[in-house]
C-alpha cells in the first residue's frame, strides 16, 4: 500500500528489523517490542482491530481518526499505551509477568514527522482478552 506521504507500507521489512525477529506474523512480547523500538529508533503502533491494521495504512488511519482523542482510537502508539496502562494500574508491569501481552506484527512503513523527515514504524495487533483467556486454559484433549 502506498501512503499519502509517498512512502510505502507493507509486509516487506528492512533486513535489520528481520534480524531482530520483526517480520510479518511474528509474535513478540509487548515489553520486548517496546525495548526494540527504543533501541533501534522505530515507532510501534498497536491496533485493536485486525482488519483495520491489515486493510489500511497508518497515514490513512491517522487522518481518519484525527478528531478522536488518542485513547479512544482503535490504535495507539505503544509508548502511549504503556504509559496509560502504568498510570491506570501501578501493578501493570508486574501483571505482564503473569499474563504477557503478545503482539502480532503485521506491517512496516515510514511516516513523515517533519518536512522532509520520516521515521520508521511497525504495526502490530493486540490480542483480544478472550484469546488471552483461551491461551491460559489447558488443552481439553
Give the helix ranges, DSSP H, for 45-120.
Answer: 50-55, 58-64, 78-88, 92-98
Helix, strand or coil for residue 140? coil
- In this prediction the pTM is 0.84
Q: 39, 32 in Cβ contact below 8 A? A: no
pLDDT, tens digit (0-9, with 9 covering 90-100), for 48-78: 999 999 999 999 999 999 999 999 999 999 9
Task: For 8-52, write each residue's pLDDT tens digit.
Answer: 788 889 999 999 999 999 999 999 999 999 999 999 999 999 999
Backbone phi and psi for residue 71, each to the nearest 5 degrees, phi listed first: -75, -5
Amino acid at each position: 500500500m502506498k501512503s499519502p506521504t509517498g512512502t510505502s507500507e507493507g509486509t516487506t521489512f528492512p533486513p535489520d528489523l528481520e534480524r531482530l525477529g520483526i517480520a510479518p506474523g511474528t509474535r513478540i512480547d509487548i515489553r520486548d517490542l517496546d525495548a526494540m523500538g527504543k533501541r533501534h529508533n522505530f515507532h510501534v503502533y498497536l491496533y485493536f482491530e485486525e482488519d483495520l491494521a491489515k486493510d489500511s495504512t497508518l497515514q490513512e488511519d491517522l487522518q481518519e481518526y484525527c478528531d478522536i482523542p488518542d485513547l479512544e482510537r482503535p490504535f495507539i502508539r505503544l509508548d502511549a499505551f504503556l504509559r496509560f496502562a502504568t498510570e491506570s494500574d501501578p501493578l501493570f508491569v508486574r501483571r505482564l509477568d503473569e499474563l504477557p501481552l503478545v503482539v502480532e506484527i503485521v506491517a512496516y512503513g515510514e511516516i513523515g514527522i517533519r518536512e522532509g523527515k520520516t521515521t520508521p514504524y511497525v504495526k502490530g495487533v493486540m490480542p483480544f482478552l478472550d484469546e488471552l483467556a483461551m491461551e491460559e486454559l489447558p488443552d481439553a484433549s
